[in-house]
Structure 1
Amino acid sequence: MKEYTVRPNKDADAWFVKIEDVAPEQDYDKKVDAVEAGKKIAEENKPSRLVVYNHLNEVEDEHNFK
């Protein structure tokens, strides 16, 4: 199962969608845009999981796609 994450950059002024929490796939100005993109990518690559972090790098939400 692939894992995708939505994480802020160090200043929390941009958001990254990452694959396996390593390489940034894309970056976004708004968190909501990054979450929507992350859901779409995870949905297209089932089975997968999307973990969303807040601006403090704490897990905020998780989505599983089967």
Structure 2
Amino acid sequence: MKQYSVVPNKDVTGWFVKIEDVAPTDEYDERDTAVEKAEAIAKENKPSKLSILDQNHEVEEERTY
């Protein structure tokens, strides 16, 4: 199962979409946009799991596809 995550950057001025918790693939200004993109990638690569982290890097939500 592939693991995807949406995490804030250091200053919480942008949001990264990460694959397998390695280097970020893309950065977005809006959290919602990053979540939408990560969701689309996760759905394309089933089975997969998406973790959405808050500004404190704590898991806010997990979704499985």
The TM-score normalised by the length of structure 2 is: 0.97
Kindly report the root-mean-square deviation, in angstroms, between the aligned alpha carbons of the 2 structures. 0.5
In 1, the alpha carbon distance for the partners of 2:38 and 2:16 equals 9
Any residues of structure 2 matched to 1:41-52 within 5 Å, and which? 41-52=41-52
- Structure 1 outlier segments of 4+, above 3 Å: none
**Residue aligning to 2:64:** 64
Any residues of structure 2 matched to 1:20-39 within 5 Å, and which? 20-39=20-39
Any residues of structure 2 matched to 1:5-24 within 5 Å, and which? 5-24=5-24
In 1, the alpha carbon distance for the partners of 2:45 and 2:25 equals 14
Gaps of 5+ in 1: none
In 2, the alpha carbon distance for the partners of 1:50 and 1:25 equals 14
Q: Figure out how many residues of one structure are paired with residues of the other and give that number.
A: 65
| 1:25 shift after superposition | 1.2
In 1, the alpha carbon distance for the partners of 2:25 and 2:44 equals 14
